[in-house]
Amino acid sequence: MAEKLRPLVAGNWKMNGLAASAAEFGKVVAGAAPLAGKADLMICPPATLIPAFAASARGSAVTVGGQDCHAKASGAHTGDLAAEMLADAGAVAVIVGHSERRADHGETDAQVRDKAQAAHRAGLTAIVCVGEQRSEREARETLAVIGRQLEGSLPDAATGANLVVAYEPVWAIGTGLTPTPADVGEVHAFIRQHLRQRYGAEGGRVRILYGGSVKPANAGELLTIADVNGALVGGASLKADDFLGIAAVYG
Ligand code: PGA
């Protein structure tokens, strides 16, 4: 039986946002009030904006997360940020293993797992991303690919509070394309089964987000599928109205 989990709608701003974006973030905070207790909202801005956003969201229904972290807590790693630094800046979570990090920076499943464990060490929730390429879906390898990524990328121990899994088909990110609801449901059920086998009852409490071209127009269809416990939103999270329009599915 699927447990009733409070949904999470997380916005991934990617490499977008300047100090002036505080106004758009403020609109998210103001618009989130009616959703308090019904859904958790999170924005993952560039790290430069985490302290200001976390301060302005304090006491609201919105939290702030990072987009990546280094596996180590400190050291000679020019340009990198430790999970501890994100926590210190006000983040409560961090995305790890996004397909753009896997593609642009060659991140492996083992590195993603180390980052997820670093997030836990720092007291952050790890949002671990997995997803197949278009060629893999066409070759009917989706579940095998997702199984491999879960096996290699997820931390050894986890709870419903400190782990979130995001299923993001690579070919659906930023393209306007989405899988059919049946395909989304199949992958989410498969991920849930993996989580239960691995973490027992806690695996039933880990939220599984769908990500890839989620918009207000398709949110109703995608976010009400069994075992879809929210969304990871890229492009549409940059506009407060669109982001809130997606979250409104849970209102
Ligand atoms: P998109 O991005 O919503 O723009 O497709 C999703 C993501 O990369 O998390």
Per-residue HEC secondary structure of 186-240 comes to HHHHHHHHHHHHHHHHHHHCCEEEEECCCCHHHHHHHCCCCCCCEEEECHHHHCH
Its domain, for residue 100, covers 8-14+41-54+82-250
Q: Which DSSP category does 15 fall into?
A: S
Q: Quick check: is 25 in a domain?
A: no
CB atoms within 10 A of CB 55: 12
What's CA 137's distance to the chain center, in Å? 21
Report whether residue 7 contacts ligand 1, using a CB cutoff of 6 Å.
no
Q: Is 113 part of a structural domain of the chain?
A: yes
Ligand 1: distance of its center to the CA of 59 in Å? Answer: 27
Please check whether residue 215 is in contact with residue 236, taking contact to mean a CB–CB distance below 8 angstroms: yes
Q: How much distance in Å is there from the Cα of 75 to the middle of ligand 1?
A: 31
Tell me how far apart the alpha carbons of residues 243 and 32 are, in angstroms, rounded to a whole number.
10
Protein residue with its CA nearest to atom 3 in ligand 1? 234
173 lies in a domain? yes
Domain contains 59:
no
Q: What is the CATH number of the domain that holds 148?
A: 3.20.20.70
How many folded domains does the chain comprise? 1
State the closest ligand 1 atom to the C-alpha of 95, by its place in the atom list counted from 1.
Answer: 9
User: Does the predicted model carry a pTM greater than 0.85?
Assistant: yes
Is 209 contained in some domain?
yes
Point out the ligand 1 atom lying closest to the alpha carbon of residue 233: 3
Q: Do the beta carbons of residue 214 and residue 236 sit within 8 Å?
A: yes
Contacts of 67 (CB under 8 A, 6+ apart): 12, 13, 14, 44, 46, 47, 94, 95, 98
Strands 163-167 and 93-96: unpaired
Q: What is the rounded CA–CA span in Å between residue 15 and residue 80?
A: 15
Protein residue with least CA distance to atom 6, ligand 1: 234
Q: Is residue 240 part of a domain?
A: yes
* 207 assigned to some structural domain: yes
With respect to residue 66, please indicate whether it lies within any of the assigned structural domains: no
Q: Output the pLDDT for position 4.
A: 85
Residues in the chain, pLDDT under 50: none
